[in-house]
């Protein structure tokens, strides 16, 4: 078992990384002071694998668990789905002392966190991620929210979980494509903060893709450490430090919106976004071509896409203008200077974007 503290004063919490630990979740939630009713928000696929195990663990220590199943997929990350969760919580008479568990991937975590942040003006919630992407990224940091037809994650709140419990054995249930998509976020952490992690990925990729335990523990823990450190410095993206986590996401979110969240997994869109951002950095003379090549080559070796043929530039820019990272009407791109060092760039022209296609 590995543990990481996210130090945010009275909003601090632990990230626990372990194997075969879902069966102990009841005890862990008792330790942090939860009791009574707990709603386990999940989708039908994840419920089949883990719903009974978590319910049994919660019942064994006196909790009253209720499974709340919502549809699977980014296109259901909407206010309507959140409203359906509210309806369920109200019918079950959930109170402020009741809690929610987000059991699933990033979509489940974002929706559940937003529901917890807004139901009765805030009830506790726990992140129990079951995908690699959620393990290393979306379950940590307190960003919650839903999508709008004009763009991704435009409606949301900063609301920290009470605990993040990462059981790496859940990864064995993932389709191969889901695991590969999650690797994009691990690559992101290497590029933005740790060349050592990036080199580790380059040198140990076969073992990582074979899901060897020691390699998984290392990349998950290191990714969580990097994100925890950034969140501690800039919890609500005020100073600009947290903006680095959006590397690849400005282009990526536009790609997801254009394709209706149906063609690419989130990590796949982010991989394309990282490749485009690195190419833009070269075009703007922020970094050497070799930086782009290392990023692009690693993404390709993993099996991630790095381009989207037919992407309409004007449409993408229009969507990016609704992005949360827009400041004073200017889209800010997170671009590499080298592996491990980034810049926030708002000094670009539409011709620069055209120049990378």
Cα–Cα distance measured from residue 266 to residue 269, given in angstroms and rounded to the nearest whole number? 5
User: Residues 37, 135, 221, 266: which is the catalytic one?
Assistant: 266
Phi-psi region of 9 (alpha: psi -120 to 50; beta: other; left: phi over 0): left
User: Residues 77, 253, 283, 325: which is the catalytic one?
Assistant: 253
Residues 6+ apart with CB under 8 A from 348: 280, 284, 331, 333
Classified as helix, coil or strand, 86 is helix
Cβ 248 vs Cβ 336: under 8 Å: no
User: Residues 74, 225, 235, 237: which is the catalytic one?
Assistant: 237
- Any idea which residue has 């990526």 for tokens? 252
308 token code pair: 């989207």
> How many other C-beta atoms are found inside a 10 Å radius of the C-beta of residue 32?
13
> How many other C-beta atoms are found inside a 10 Å radius of the C-beta of residue 222?
19
Cα–Cα distance measured from residue 332 to residue 46, given in angstroms and rounded to the nearest whole number? 36
**Catalytic annotation on 185?**
yes
User: Residues 77, 188, 222, 242: which is the catalytic one?
Assistant: 242
Cβ 39 vs Cβ 99: under 8 Å: yes
**Catalytic annotation on 322?**
no
Cβ 264 vs Cβ 272: under 8 Å: yes
Residue 38 forms beta bridges with which residues?
A: 65, 99
DSSP assignment, residue 243? G
DSSP assignment, residue 174? S
User: Residues 43, 215, 246, 296: which is the catalytic one?
Assistant: 246
Tell me the torsion sign for CA atoms 319, 322, 328, 334.
negative
**Catalytic annotation on 135?**
no
**Catalytic annotation on 235?**
no
**Catalytic annotation on 266?**
yes
DSSP assignment, residue 327? B
**Catalytic annotation on 249?**
yes
User: Residues 43, 47, 185, 215: which is the catalytic one?
Assistant: 185
Residues 6+ apart with CB under 8 A from 32: 162, 163
Beta strands (DSSP E) in 120-237 are: 125-129, 143-148, 151-158, 163-167
**Catalytic annotation on 242?**
yes
- Any idea which residue has 């402020």 for tokens? 96
User: Residues 47, 77, 88, 143: which is the catalytic one?
Assistant: 143
**Catalytic annotation on 288?**
no
40 token code pair: 């386990």
**Catalytic residue numbers, as ranges:** 121, 143, 185, 227, 237, 242, 246, 249, 253, 266
């Amino acid at each position: 078992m590995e543990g990481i503290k996210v130090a945010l004063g009275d909003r601090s919490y632990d990230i626990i990384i372990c194997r075969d630990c879902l069966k102990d979740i009841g005890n862990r939630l008792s330790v942090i002071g939860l009791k009574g009713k707990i709603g386990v928000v999940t989708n039908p696929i994840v419920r089949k694998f883990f719903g009974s195990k978590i319910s049994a663990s919660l019942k064994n220590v006196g909790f009253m668990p209720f499974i709340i199943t919502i549809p699977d997929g980014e296109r259901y990350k909407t206010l309507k789905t959140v409203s359906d969760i509210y309806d369920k919580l109200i019918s079950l008479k959930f109170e402020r002392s009741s809690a929610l568990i987000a059991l699933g991937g990033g979509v489940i975590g974002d929706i559940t966190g937003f529901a917890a942040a807004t139901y009765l003006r805030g009830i506790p919630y726990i992140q129990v991620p079951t995908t690699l992407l959620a393990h290393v990224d979306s379950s940590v940091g307190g960003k919650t929210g839903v999508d709008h037809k004009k763009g991704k994650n435009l409606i949301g709140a900063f609301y920290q979980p009470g605990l993040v419990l990462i059981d790496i054995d859940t990864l064995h249930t993932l389709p191969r494509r889901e695991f590969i998509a999650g690797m994009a976020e691990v690559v992101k952490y290497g590029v933005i903060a740790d060349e050592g992690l990036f080199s580790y990925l380059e040198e140990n990729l076969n073992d990582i893709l074979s899901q060897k335990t020691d390699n998984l523990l290392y990349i998950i823990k290191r990714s969580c450490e990097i994100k925890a450190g950034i969140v501690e410095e800039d919890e609500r993206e005020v100073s600009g430090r947290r903006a680095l986590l959006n590397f690849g996401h400005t282009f990526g979110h536009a790609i997801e919106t254009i394709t209706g969240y149906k063609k690419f997994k989130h990590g796949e869109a982010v991989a394309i976004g990282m490749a485009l951002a690195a190419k833009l950095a070269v075009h703007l003379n922020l970094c050497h071509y070799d930086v782009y090549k290392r990023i692009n080559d690693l993404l390709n070796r993993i099996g991630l896409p790095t381009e989207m043929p037919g992407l309409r530039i004007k449409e993408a820019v229009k969507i990016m203008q609704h992005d949360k990272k827009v400041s004073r009407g200017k889209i800010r791109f997170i671009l590499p200077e080298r592996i491990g060092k980034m810049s926030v760039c708002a000094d670009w022209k539409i011709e620069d974007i055209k120049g990378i296609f």
